[in-house]
Amino acid sequence: MRRDIPLLITGIAGVVFIVQYFIPHFPFNRFSNWFSDWFSIVAACAIWLGALNLFKLSLEKIHARREGWGYAVITIVCFLLMTVVGFSEGRDYSKVGTGFDWLYNYVYSPLSSTMFAILAFFVASASYRAFRARNFEATLLLIAAFLVMLGRVPIGDLLSGFMPPGMRLSQLATWIMQFPNTAGQRAILIGISLGIVSSSLRLILGIERSYLGGD
Protein backbone atom coordinates (compact mmCIF):
# COMPACT_ATOMS: atom_id res chain seq x y z
CA MET A 1 0.00 0.00 0.00
CA ARG A 2 2.86 2.36 0.76
CA ARG A 3 4.44 1.83 -2.65
CA ASP A 4 1.80 0.33 -4.93
CA ILE A 5 -0.85 3.02 -4.50
CA PRO A 6 1.58 5.89 -5.23
CA LEU A 7 2.82 4.03 -8.32
CA LEU A 8 -0.77 3.62 -9.48
CA ILE A 9 -1.55 7.28 -8.85
CA THR A 10 1.56 8.34 -10.81
CA GLY A 11 0.62 6.07 -13.71
CA ILE A 12 -3.00 7.24 -13.90
CA ALA A 13 -2.17 10.94 -13.61
CA GLY A 14 0.53 10.61 -16.28
CA VAL A 15 -1.60 8.63 -18.71
CA VAL A 16 -4.51 11.08 -18.40
CA PHE A 17 -2.32 14.02 -19.40
CA ILE A 18 -0.81 12.10 -22.31
CA VAL A 19 -4.18 10.95 -23.66
CA GLN A 20 -5.88 14.33 -23.25
CA TYR A 21 -3.18 15.89 -25.43
CA PHE A 22 -4.28 13.73 -28.35
CA ILE A 23 -7.98 13.40 -27.44
CA PRO A 24 -9.00 16.67 -25.78
CA HIS A 25 -12.61 15.53 -25.47
CA PHE A 26 -14.85 13.95 -22.87
CA PRO A 27 -13.93 12.24 -20.60
CA PHE A 28 -10.20 13.03 -20.88
CA ASN A 29 -10.62 16.80 -20.96
CA ARG A 30 -12.69 16.58 -17.81
CA PHE A 31 -10.10 14.40 -16.06
CA SER A 32 -7.32 16.75 -17.07
CA ASN A 33 -9.35 19.71 -15.73
CA TRP A 34 -9.90 17.96 -12.43
CA PHE A 35 -6.26 17.00 -12.17
CA SER A 36 -5.14 20.55 -12.99
CA ASP A 37 -7.40 21.88 -10.22
CA TRP A 38 -6.05 19.34 -7.77
CA PHE A 39 -2.49 20.07 -8.82
CA SER A 40 -3.07 23.74 -8.09
CA ILE A 41 -4.34 23.02 -4.56
CA VAL A 42 -1.65 20.43 -3.78
CA ALA A 43 1.05 22.84 -5.03
CA ALA A 44 -0.25 25.48 -2.62
CA CYS A 45 -0.20 22.96 0.23
CA ALA A 46 3.38 22.01 -0.72
CA ILE A 47 4.37 25.66 -0.31
CA TRP A 48 2.58 25.71 3.05
CA LEU A 49 4.47 22.59 3.99
CA GLY A 50 7.74 24.32 3.19
CA ALA A 51 6.86 27.42 5.20
CA LEU A 52 5.61 25.40 8.19
CA ASN A 53 8.71 23.25 8.04
CA LEU A 54 10.87 26.35 8.19
CA PHE A 55 8.86 27.50 11.20
CA LYS A 56 9.30 24.11 12.87
CA LEU A 57 13.05 23.95 12.20
CA SER A 58 13.54 27.49 13.45
CA LEU A 59 11.65 26.68 16.66
CA GLU A 60 13.78 23.58 17.16
CA LYS A 61 16.91 25.66 16.66
CA ILE A 62 15.78 28.17 19.28
CA HIS A 63 14.73 25.43 21.69
CA ALA A 64 18.09 23.66 21.43
CA ARG A 65 19.93 27.02 21.58
CA ARG A 66 21.95 25.98 18.54
CA GLU A 67 24.47 28.39 17.00
CA GLY A 68 22.71 31.31 15.37
CA TRP A 69 19.44 30.75 17.25
CA GLY A 70 19.02 34.51 17.57
CA TYR A 71 18.64 34.75 13.80
CA ALA A 72 16.00 32.01 13.95
CA VAL A 73 14.06 34.27 16.38
CA ILE A 74 14.19 37.08 13.81
CA THR A 75 13.03 34.70 11.08
CA ILE A 76 10.06 33.56 13.15
CA VAL A 77 9.09 37.09 14.18
CA CYS A 78 9.20 38.25 10.56
CA PHE A 79 7.27 35.21 9.39
CA LEU A 80 4.57 35.84 11.99
CA LEU A 81 4.50 39.57 11.24
CA MET A 82 3.92 38.96 7.54
CA THR A 83 1.28 36.27 8.11
CA VAL A 84 -0.61 38.22 10.78
CA VAL A 85 -0.66 41.34 8.61
CA GLY A 86 -1.59 39.33 5.51
CA PHE A 87 -4.43 37.40 7.13
CA SER A 88 -5.82 40.41 8.97
CA GLU A 89 -6.09 42.38 5.71
CA GLY A 90 -8.54 39.86 4.29
CA ARG A 91 -8.94 38.80 0.65
CA ASP A 92 -7.70 42.11 -0.74
CA TYR A 93 -4.51 41.77 1.30
CA SER A 94 -2.35 42.87 -1.60
CA LYS A 95 -4.27 45.97 -2.60
CA VAL A 96 -2.08 49.04 -3.02
CA GLY A 97 -1.83 50.83 0.32
CA THR A 98 -2.37 47.86 2.65
CA GLY A 99 0.12 46.94 5.37
CA PHE A 100 1.02 43.81 3.46
CA ASP A 101 1.73 45.89 0.37
CA TRP A 102 3.90 48.22 2.48
CA LEU A 103 5.94 45.31 3.81
CA TYR A 104 6.24 43.95 0.27
CA ASN A 105 7.49 47.27 -1.10
CA TYR A 106 9.85 48.31 1.65
CA VAL A 107 11.07 45.07 3.21
CA TYR A 108 10.62 42.16 0.82
CA SER A 109 11.45 44.01 -2.42
CA PRO A 110 14.72 45.65 -1.31
CA LEU A 111 15.97 42.44 0.29
CA SER A 112 15.03 40.25 -2.63
CA SER A 113 16.49 42.53 -5.29
CA THR A 114 19.70 43.23 -3.37
CA MET A 115 20.30 39.51 -2.81
CA PHE A 116 20.52 39.10 -6.59
CA ALA A 117 22.27 42.43 -7.15
CA ILE A 118 25.38 41.52 -5.13
CA LEU A 119 26.04 38.74 -7.62
CA ALA A 120 27.21 41.46 -10.04
CA PHE A 121 30.30 41.97 -7.92
CA PHE A 122 31.09 38.29 -7.72
CA VAL A 123 30.60 37.76 -11.46
CA ALA A 124 33.09 40.56 -12.18
CA SER A 125 35.60 39.31 -9.62
CA ALA A 126 35.35 35.70 -10.79
CA SER A 127 35.74 36.77 -14.44
CA TYR A 128 38.92 38.65 -13.61
CA ARG A 129 40.41 35.75 -11.72
CA ALA A 130 39.24 32.69 -13.61
CA PHE A 131 38.09 33.54 -17.14
CA ARG A 132 41.15 32.52 -19.16
CA ALA A 133 41.74 31.75 -22.82
CA ARG A 134 43.52 28.49 -22.00
CA ASN A 135 42.71 26.70 -25.26
CA PHE A 136 40.80 27.16 -28.50
CA GLU A 137 37.40 26.31 -26.98
CA ALA A 138 37.85 28.71 -24.08
CA THR A 139 39.01 31.40 -26.53
CA LEU A 140 35.84 30.92 -28.56
CA LEU A 141 33.79 31.29 -25.40
CA LEU A 142 35.71 34.43 -24.46
CA ILE A 143 35.33 36.04 -27.89
CA ALA A 144 31.59 35.29 -28.00
CA ALA A 145 31.20 36.73 -24.49
CA PHE A 146 33.10 39.90 -25.46
CA LEU A 147 31.09 40.42 -28.64
CA VAL A 148 27.79 39.93 -26.83
CA MET A 149 28.75 42.00 -23.78
CA LEU A 150 29.88 44.95 -25.90
CA GLY A 151 27.46 44.46 -28.77
CA ARG A 152 24.37 44.52 -26.61
CA VAL A 153 25.11 47.94 -25.11
CA PRO A 154 25.28 51.23 -27.01
CA ILE A 155 28.98 51.73 -26.29
CA GLY A 156 29.70 48.76 -28.55
CA ASP A 157 28.71 50.66 -31.67
CA LEU A 158 30.63 53.67 -30.49
CA LEU A 159 33.78 51.55 -30.21
CA SER A 160 33.20 49.85 -33.56
CA GLY A 161 31.84 52.84 -35.46
CA PHE A 162 34.81 52.72 -37.86
CA MET A 163 33.88 49.20 -39.01
CA PRO A 164 31.91 48.74 -42.26
CA PRO A 165 28.13 48.24 -41.90
CA GLY A 166 27.33 44.64 -40.99
CA MET A 167 30.55 44.29 -38.99
CA ARG A 168 29.69 46.58 -36.08
CA LEU A 169 29.60 45.04 -32.63
CA SER A 170 25.82 45.25 -32.27
CA GLN A 171 25.38 43.49 -35.62
CA LEU A 172 27.92 40.81 -34.79
CA ALA A 173 26.19 40.23 -31.44
CA THR A 174 22.84 39.92 -33.20
CA TRP A 175 24.32 37.41 -35.66
CA ILE A 176 25.81 35.35 -32.83
CA MET A 177 22.52 35.35 -30.96
CA GLN A 178 20.40 34.48 -33.99
CA PHE A 179 22.53 31.71 -35.44
CA PRO A 180 25.37 30.03 -33.48
CA ASN A 181 23.64 30.68 -30.14
CA THR A 182 20.32 29.43 -31.48
CA ALA A 183 22.04 26.31 -32.82
CA GLY A 184 23.77 25.56 -29.51
CA GLN A 185 20.69 26.32 -27.44
CA ARG A 186 18.60 24.17 -29.74
CA ALA A 187 20.97 21.24 -29.38
CA ILE A 188 20.80 21.63 -25.59
CA LEU A 189 17.02 22.01 -25.73
CA ILE A 190 16.50 18.88 -27.82
CA GLY A 191 18.96 16.91 -25.70
CA ILE A 192 17.34 17.91 -22.42
CA SER A 193 13.85 17.34 -23.80
CA LEU A 194 14.67 13.83 -24.95
CA GLY A 195 16.01 13.19 -21.44
CA ILE A 196 12.81 14.54 -19.90
CA VAL A 197 10.66 12.44 -22.23
CA SER A 198 12.49 9.24 -21.31
CA SER A 199 12.48 10.07 -17.56
CA SER A 200 8.76 10.85 -17.72
CA LEU A 201 8.09 7.53 -19.39
CA ARG A 202 10.09 5.70 -16.72
CA LEU A 203 8.12 7.49 -13.99
CA ILE A 204 4.73 6.75 -15.53
CA LEU A 205 5.59 3.11 -16.14
CA GLY A 206 6.81 2.76 -12.57
CA ILE A 207 10.39 1.89 -13.54
CA GLU A 208 11.77 4.99 -11.81
CA ARG A 209 10.70 4.94 -8.15
CA SER A 210 13.38 6.91 -6.35
CA TYR A 211 10.97 9.79 -5.67
CA LEU A 212 9.11 7.51 -3.25
CA GLY A 213 12.12 7.29 -0.95
CA GLY A 214 13.01 4.33 1.27
CA ASP A 215 10.91 1.60 3.00
Partner 1 sequence: MEHGAKSRYEIPVLIAVVTLTLVIYVARHAEWFGYLQLSAGLSLILMLLVAGSLIWILIRTLDGNPAGRRMVFLYVAVAVVLPLSMQLTQKIEVTPEVNQLYRGLQALPHGAKVLATFDYDPGSAAELQPMAETFFKYAFDRGFKVIIMGLWPQGPAQANMALTKVLSEERYKVKSLRYGVDYVNLGFQSGNEFVIQRMGGEFKSMFPTDYNGTPYDSLPIIRNVKNFSNIDYSFNLSAGYPGTKEWVLVGVDQFGFKMGAGNTAVQTTGMYPYLRSGQLIGILGGMSGAAEFEEITKYRGKGTKFMLSQSFSHVVVVVFIIIGNVAYIMFERGRATEKKKKA
Partner 2 sequence: MESGLMHHVALWLAAFLTLGIFSFLYRDNTWYKVCEAIFVGISAGYWFVAYFWDNLYTKFWVGVWVTPMADRPDDWYVLYVGAALGILMLLRLVPKVGWISRWPLAFIVGATAGLYLVTYFASNVMLQIEDTVRPIFGAENDAPIYEIIGNIVVAVGTFTGLIYFFFSKEHRGAFGRAAKVGIFFLMITFGASFGYTVMSRMSLLIGRMDFLFSDWLKLIK
**Binding-site ranges for partner 1 (CB under 8 A):** 21, 29, 32-33, 35-37, 39-41, 43-44, 47, 90-92, 94-96, 101, 104-105, 108-110, 112-113, 115-117, 120-121, 123-125, 127-134, 142, 145-146, 149-150, 152-158, 170, 174, 177-178, 181-182, 185-186, 188-189
Q: DSSP assignment, residue 164?
A: P
Contact 75, 54 (CB under 8 A): yes
Q: Is 59 in the site for partner 2 (CB under 8 A)?
A: no
The 3-state DSSP composition of the chain as helix, strand, coil percent (nearest 5) reads 80, 0, 20
Q: Whole-angstrom Cα distance, residue 157 to residue 167?
A: 10
SS3 25: coil
> Of the candidates 64, 118, 130, 207, which one interacts with partner 2 according to CB under 8 A?
118
> Which residues in the 175-204 window bind partner 2 by CB under 8 A?
175-194, 196-197, 199-201, 203-204
Q: Does 78 bind partner 2 (CB under 8 A)?
A: yes
Residue 63 contacts partner 2 per CB under 8 A: no
Is residue 69 a contact residue for partner 2 (CB under 8 A)? Answer: no
Residue 81 near which of partner 1, partner 2, none (CB within 5-8 Å, type-dependent)? partner 2
**Spatial distance between the Cα atoms of 185 and 215, rounded to a whole number of angstroms:** 40
List of residues 6+ apart from 174 with CB closer than 8 A: 151
